[in-house]
Amino acid sequence: MKKADFLVEVGTEELPPKALRSLMDAFAQNLTDAVDNARLEHGDVHAYASPRRLAVLIEKLAAGQVDRKAVQKGPPVSVAFDDKGNPKPAAIAFAKKCDVDVNDLERTKSDKGEWLTYETVEKGRATSELIGELVNQALSELPIPRRMRWGDGDAEFVRPVHWIVLLSGKDIVKSSVMGIKAGRKSRGHRFHSKGWVSIPNASAYLVTLKEKGRVIADFDTRRKIVESSVAKAAKSCKGTPLGDDALYDEVSALVEWPVALLGEFDADFLSLPREVIVSTLSSHQRYFPIVDKDGGLLPKFVTVANLESKDPDQVRHGNERVIRPRLADAAFFWDSDRRTKLASREDALRDVVYQRGLGSLHDKASRTASLVRAIAAMLDVSAEQGERAAMLAKCDLLTGMVGEFPELQGTMGRYYAIADGEPKAVADAIGEHYQPRYAGDVLPATVDGRILSLADKLDTLAGVFSIGKKPSGNRDPFGLRRAALGIIRISVECTLDFDLQAAIGEASALQPKSKLDADELADSIYSFINDRLRRYFLDRDRGLATETFDAVSARRPVSLVDFENRLAAVQAFLRLPEAESLAAANKRIANILKKASHADGAAVNKDLLQDDAEKALYAALGVSAETVQPLVAARRYTEVLSALAGLRAPVDKFFDDVMVMADDARLRDNRLALLGELRGLFLDVADISRLAID
């Protein structure tokens, strides 16, 4: 079948820069899925995007679907014909449905009987007939929270759509997308091109836009140009640019023809906190700050223009004029905020509502301080500095600087605390209590900061859960999933061995009101964190099985450090040759005890032991219990399971020789107690009956 490269370009007004890459990737994936589901053969798929376009190029897309056979299944033969072989209404109706005579129907036998069938050939449709519908489908499924309407049409998209390109090879695909008739004309750069650019064929898309439209449509190529040109501009002043992936992506999403320019600002502004300058340049202006070889900020920056100006100095000076008042505002806030101490703002927190139903920011600070005290006691460390930090941590929300730069909350609190002469431990804890702010972010470096961060996140979880606003679907307006992951990362990666369930219970009890009682609320929060914990461990260790996690989770370990230790022990146990047999035995024991409604903790009566196999198992359990009890107390779980692996032989012998469910009730109950004791030894670590072993 004939094949040709296929191109679709959706031309729009400027797309949201922070979402451009995700929109590009989603469009390509959606269209690929749609084409695959439509049974259209194709080669590699390429995604492109710039501020005014989303495009997908599909190599060697088949001109149409391949014909395929389709078998229609009718009624059973026994229902379709009478004893004399004459067709009954069921056969006649099926033949009519297939538009054939009854004699043209076939019979197909299977293990379940014999049916009437009819085989047809489903003719494949041409790609040109399908592609418009597939593109519309792919666009409709893009992750767009809010869609816009424009003109008098019914089409909705993230931004108004102005042109559509649909090409199969060099031919225009006659179709409409988003209510716009497709063609071959795209638009070039707003200033560097003459407007419309005719694309001669699909494979010439990138080169045509670059040469005739002065548009670099390949996002990744454009980003590499941004990176290299920014680095080159910074190098010209013997500096290195500061910028994370998100900033490079955003800048690349703002320009179609990137040109880096070096600018500067008054060196007096370097007296501002470093984070203020970086935030002003990066977050507000999408500029790249520059540091010297020692990491110190230079009074310079790199901006990326969306054109190659004949007078670059004018563009440079324009950007310098923009940044000057921004830094001047920051300097004003820095000076004025320090005239009022953080502690003096504490009382004003009473007038700021934290969340309806959860009191004021002062109420939240007080609850957080109580949690700091509880967690510090569990860790056997002083809570004095942490409690002080908890009461001051939200005070910077009332400052002018954080009002102008919300992303600096916590950071500015630390600077103001230092300026006020607060202890360094208090200032550092204030600065760290929002960490980690996002996946992969740094963790608090100090003990007080870690405890305060845990307390703040636990109070947020308990509070929002208590008013019935826990996340649903993809919606998480309070960032509770992020808070739960932060609790997990701090606990596990910083090895804070505290009773998480008790801390959750304390946080739940502190809430002013709840739709659930304290125990139900605590269970709900624990389950929520446990779900995030599952994902955390599975992502961290690709070799970890879900069943292994469940085996440990079933025991609800006191702390996440304890949880991790048990998890490692079970994974080591799985590598032992005895693991398969003992896991199967535990599964069998769990089923027996459940069916028999056996009460946990029943004692074994030694005098009722009759068979040699049950006597041997009883003796082995006694030795094992004596061995593992101190190991369990010391949390040496790997050694516990390794020691219990020695029970394989007596356990196997027991099940081979002993009838557990004996007619004699006393013997039966005693043997159930023996199995309960065996299972209890393993349950001190994990419920290995849940393990899946091939």
**Does the residue 550 lie in any domain?**
no
Question: Among 482, 507, 540, where does a domain finish?
Answer: 540
Q: How many domains does the chain have?
A: 5
Q: How far apart are CA 246 and CA 475, in angstroms?
A: 22
**Does the residue 551 lie in any domain?**
no
Q: Which pLDDT does position 592 carry in this prediction? A: 86
Q: pLDDT digits over 432-464, tens only?
A: 999 999 888 999 999 999 999 999 999 999 999
Identify which has the larger pLDDT, 267 or 610: 267
Q: How far apart are CA 188 and CA 181, in angstroms?
A: 19
The verdict on 201 and 231 lying in the same domain is no
Question: Among 122, 142, 168, where does a domain finish?
Answer: 122
Q: Which pLDDT does position 346 carry in this prediction? A: 96
What is the 3-class SS of 126-157, one letter each residue? EHHHHHHHHHHHHHHCCCCCCCEECCCCCCEE
Residue 114 predicted with pLDDT over 70: yes
Contacts 24+ apart (CB under 8 A), 228-236: 229/258, 229/259, 229/260, 229/304, 230/260, 230/288, 230/302, 230/304, 232/260, 233/260, 233/261, 233/262, 233/302, 234/262, 234/288, 234/290, 234/300, 234/302, 236/262
Query: Which residue type is seen at 56?
Result: V
Residue 503 predicted with pLDDT over 90: yes
Residue 694 predicted with pLDDT over 60: no
The verdict on 118 and 133 lying in the same domain is no
**Does the residue 546 lie in any domain?**
no
The verdict on 61 and 74 lying in the same domain is no
The verdict on 44 and 89 lying in the same domain is no
Q: pLDDT digits over 53-95, tens only?
A: 999 999 999 988 887 777 888 898 888 888 788 888 888 899 8
The verdict on 372 and 505 lying in the same domain is yes
**Does the residue 547 lie in any domain?**
no
The verdict on 138 and 254 lying in the same domain is no
Q: Which pLDDT does position 108 carry in this prediction? A: 85
User: Tell me, what CATH number does 22's domain have?
Assistant: 3.30.70.260
pTM: 0.82
- How many residues comprise the chain? 694
Coil, strand or helix at 29: helix
Tokens in use for 598?
């056996």
The verdict on 488 and 528 lying in the same domain is yes
Residue 132 predicted with pLDDT over 80: yes
**Does the residue 293 lie in any domain?**
yes
H helices of 49-126, where? 77-80, 89-98
* Torsion sign, CA atoms 268, 273, 274, 280: negative
Please report, for residues 308, 437, 456, 510, the alpha-carbon distance to residue 429 in angstroms, rounded to integers and kept in the order given.
47, 14, 11, 22
The verdict on 245 and 263 lying in the same domain is yes
Q: How far apart are CA 671 and CA 664, in angstroms?
A: 11
Residue 328 predicted with pLDDT over 70: yes
CA neighbor of 489 nearest in space, from 549, 424, 443 = 443
The verdict on 235 and 313 lying in the same domain is yes
Q: Which domain holds residue 84?
A: 68-122
**Does the residue 149 lie in any domain?**
yes
Q: pLDDT digits over 538-585, tens only?
A: 999 988 999 999 999 999 999 999 999 999 999 999 999 888 888 888
The verdict on 169 and 226 lying in the same domain is no
Strand 148-149, strand 113-122: pairing: unpaired
**Does the residue 43 lie in any domain?**
yes
Question: Among 506, 540, 574, where does a domain finish?
Answer: 540
Q: Which pLDDT does position 669 carry in this prediction? A: 86
The mean pLDDT of 104-120, rounded to a whole number, is 84
Tokens in use for 626?
């004596």
Helix (H) or strand (E) holding 447: helix 447-466
The verdict on 449 and 534 lying in the same domain is yes
Q: How far apart are CA 230 and CA 263, in angstroms?
A: 12
Q: How far apart are CA 72 and CA 99, in angstroms?
A: 12
The mean pLDDT of 230-238, rounded to a whole number, is 95
Q: Which pLDDT does position 601 carry in this prediction? A: 67
Q: Which pLDDT does position 71 carry in this prediction? A: 82
User: Tell me, what CATH number does 628's domain have?
Assistant: 1.10.730
Residue 417 predicted with pLDDT over 60: yes
**Does the residue 555 lie in any domain?**
no
Q: Which pLDDT does position 119 carry in this prediction? A: 82
Tokens in use for 564?
């991790």
The verdict on 532 and 673 lying in the same domain is no
